[in-house]
Amino acid sequence: MQWHNTTVSSDRLNDLLTFTTNSNAIVSPTSPIPDPSALIPAVESLYRQIFATILGLNQQVFTPGYSSSTVTVTITTPTTRILMSQPMFLMTLTVLGLDIIIAILYYSNRPKRFLPIMPTTIARIAGLVVAMRRRRAG
């Protein structure tokens, strides 16, 4: 889709908005950008009219109702319910607090590094063993 240089729009929605508002300011490249608060009600009204027109033209998709019968319906509405007991909440906070205290104590008092390199691979372990043997031998 390309931007146009004229006041002629290339889509039906802008054509209908231009027709219903009696102004081509929404598609004119020389006009400022339309104010959304003024344009939203026009778009909503247009969508309502289009939807009503589509339903009116396609009535064959509806099943006719029976005037003498009653229909029982169930309305389901989603609700968010968070149920938490006070003791369980306090236990959760206590465990979380203990975890934080233990993490602070551990990381503040952890042992310092005493190896020149950390033995994370077999090659590093072999290098440490060779270096220790050379120290003992030398």
Cβ atoms of 11 and 46 within 8 Å: the answer is no
Residues 6+ apart with CB under 8 A from 117: 124, 127, 128
pLDDT for residue 4 is more than 60: no
pLDDT for residue 2 is more than 70: no
Global pTM reads 0.40
Spatial separation of the C-alpha atoms in residues 34 and 108, rounded to whole Å: 60
pLDDT digits (tens, 9 = 90+) for 45-63: 999 999 999 999 988 888 8
pLDDT value at position 7?
62
Q: Which range, of 3-12, 64-73, 92-101, 118-127, averages the lowest pLDDT?
A: 3-12
Nearest to residue 10, comparing CAs of 1, 23, 22, 21?
1
